[in-house]
Amino acid sequence: MKFLAGEFDVAVIGAGHAGIEAGLAAARLGCKTGVFTINLDAVGNCPCNPSIGGTAKGHLVREIDALGGEMGKAADDCFLQIRMLNRGKGPAVHSLRAQIDRRKYSERMKHTLELQENLELRQAEIVSIEKADDGRWVLLTRLEAQYIAKAVIIATGTYLGGKVYIGDVSYESGPDGMFPSKFLPDSLEKMGMKIRRFKTGTPARVLKSSIDFDGLEEQEGDEPVVPFSYDTENPSENKIKCYISWTNEKTKKIILDNISRSPMYSGKIEGVGPRYCPSIEDKIVRFSDKQRHQLFIEPCGIDTEEMYLQGMSSSLPEDVQLEFYHSIKGLEHCVVMRPAYAIEYFCADPIQMNSTLEFIDFEGLYGAGQFNGSSGYEEAAAQGLVAGINAALKILDREPLILDRASSYIGTLIDDLVTKGCNDPYRMMTSRSEYRLILRQDNADTRLTPIGRKIGLIGDDRWHRFNVKQELIKAELERIRKTVISPSEAVNSILRENGTSEINTGIKLVDLLKRPELSYDALKDIDETRPDINANIFEQVEIEIKYEGYIKRQLTVIEQVRKLEKKILPLNINYENIEGLRLEAREKLNKVRPENIGQAGRISGVSPADISVLVIYLSTLKNKSAEEKE
């Protein structure tokens, strides 16, 4: 028998990385929040790679933290090893990646939710949601408990209609053998939501003592440790090493000889898999000319002997998996504790949402994470944070948070999803941003912390430290522009050592720093007025100076684009009635329903000529409105 079990301002379905950030954000903004999960032991679970960050993903974590989210702090508390990727390239693509203790991370996030004021964490499977006559949402659990909420955020990850595939064997399941969300997909389809099937994969876990580490390439963490969170002042130390091995021709032959037994190639899997994180069998087939593929052997935690084989996801039968693992250097005698598997699940077409991640046709209903067609913990957490903030702001009758592409990777991620949609699981990459020199991971706080403060997620202490840092950056920029370095043998000796020309007259420190061969570290012995401040101040100042011209050009482009973003398109426009638009443009515009001219221009199939037609149409609407007022 159904019974009313409680009422919330915001209800979050799912307690993975998206659900955690959504629930915490809504609760911290003062909304009574309920977070529902099928199993409390899976809160913040990392069923795939036990790591946080990576190329472009590290940017997202920094941005989540800058806005007041939790992922960066938790990663700093639970990391086993941390490294800055792409140091050999420009600062735009530098990204942190941390190998984390999987169980500690999950426990840490669960405890954070339990301690959060205004938040209730519940183990319950939500089997249906529907709109009540008063505009609120009614959620029903499998035990027939009803909950009422003003807003709902769906963050179901890979649980929604989850089905696991290992060779010829398939069964209904969520990740890691958890129960799937079996009934909710029917409720969503009945409501009129468009959902589809995607697929992702998880590599095997092997017993550490069964691995032969002799001859494997070692990967150590960076020293000193650079944390994710701007709140982490004294990060812990690296605790473990990771290892690298390679597949070979024997591995390739085993996989190709058994490719017909892969459900991906036999046609059993309907869902679309991730383009940029393919299974090992997909790599072998798609890149048949490559003789070998890299894999990373990484620990899952301090108190476990499970080792994770990054880069080796597979849906081949268990016997085939054992055969090809044993063909790889270091894994010749490995004991597989958990076989690799593919998991297929339902997700929504994100084109149904607007930039707040609210469904256009279902007021008060939001989506976040893999439910929106993305892949990755960091992409999920970023969307969860934005959805949680916007659900709360709507209930509080405040202006929504809309991050544009020029503000953040989070803005780029959301704009890509709601404007372009995705035909396969979306993964964030630095190449997706046209403003990546502006959107660096080192300046995420400069870009976003004032926004987090305005929203209400940045406390007084954090805000004070942020302002002190900005003043130090400003003062250091002024100092290097005023400081003159006089010629001397000591000065010229350092210049020669760094492969740059000597000086004959005084030169400002800023002009020396502009030279590509020189850095703060290279000049420290001749910079007599150098202040004793944090190294990240020097890092940001040096980047600003070295890339000043490029940054100014990007800012000019951003200003031009933002003018187009201000030209708002009414959501009730019927593009079929606008003369001059091409047929394809009418179809795409009616499907996406862009919020402004800038967004319309990013829709595939909408040409510059179509945009000109829309600008003229808006001008006509504006003039007509003015005439009616007169």
Alpha-helical segments (H) within 83-183: 102-115
Quote the CA–CA distance of 293 and 154 in Å, as a whole number.
37
Q: Is the peptide bond before 203 cis (omega within 30 degrees of 0)?
A: no
Residues 374 and 413 sit within 8 Å (Cβ to Cβ): yes
Residue 557 reports pLDDT greater than 90: no
Distance between CA atoms of 592 and 582, rounded to whole angstroms? 16
Q: Which residue has the tokens 């998996």?
A: 321
- Where in the chain are the domains? 3-156+349-454, 205-342, 460-552, 566-629
Question: DSSP states of 493-524 as a string?
Answer: HHHHHTT----SS-EEHHHHHTSTT--HHHHT
Nearest-CA neighbor of 43 among 105, 128, 119, 115? Answer: 105
Question: What architecture does CATH give domain 566-629?
Answer: Orthogonal Bundle (1.10)
Encode pLDDT of 459-481 as tens digits: 999 999 999 999 999 999 999 99
State residue 627's pLDDT score.
65
Confidence at residue 276, expressed as pLDDT on a 0 to 100 scale: 61
Determine the pLDDT at residue 148. 98
> CA dist 294 to 273, 360, 427, Å?
20, 43, 20
Would the pLDDT of 342 be above 80? yes
- Identify the residue whose tokens are 């000086």: 503
Q: Residue 438: what pLDDT?
A: 94
| Residue type at position 97 | R
Cα-atom radius of gyration of the chain, to the nearest Å? 26
| Residue 471 φ/ψ, nearest 5 degrees | -65, -40
- For 205-342, give the CATH class: mainly beta
Mean pLDDT over residues 489-504, rounded? 93
Record: fold of 3-156+349-454: FAD/NAD(P)-binding domain (3.50.50)
For residue 21, CA distances in Å to 39, 150, 286, 339, 475 come to 18, 18, 36, 30, 35
**Class of residue 30 by CB neighbours under 10 A (exposed 0-12, middle 13-18, buried 19+):** middle
d(CA 252, CA 259): 10
Contact between 99 and 306 under an 8 Å Cβ cutoff? The reply is no
Residue 457 and residue 447: Cα distance in Å, rounded?
Answer: 15
Q: Give the pLDDT confidence of 91-143 residue by residue, as tens digits.
A: 999 999 999 999 999 999 999 999 999 999 999 999 999 999 999 999 999 99
Which CATH architecture describes the domain 460-552? Orthogonal Bundle (1.10)
pTM: 0.94
Asked if 218 contacts 243 with a C-beta cutoff of 8 angstroms, the reply is: yes
Please tell me the predicted confidence (pLDDT) of residue 25: 98
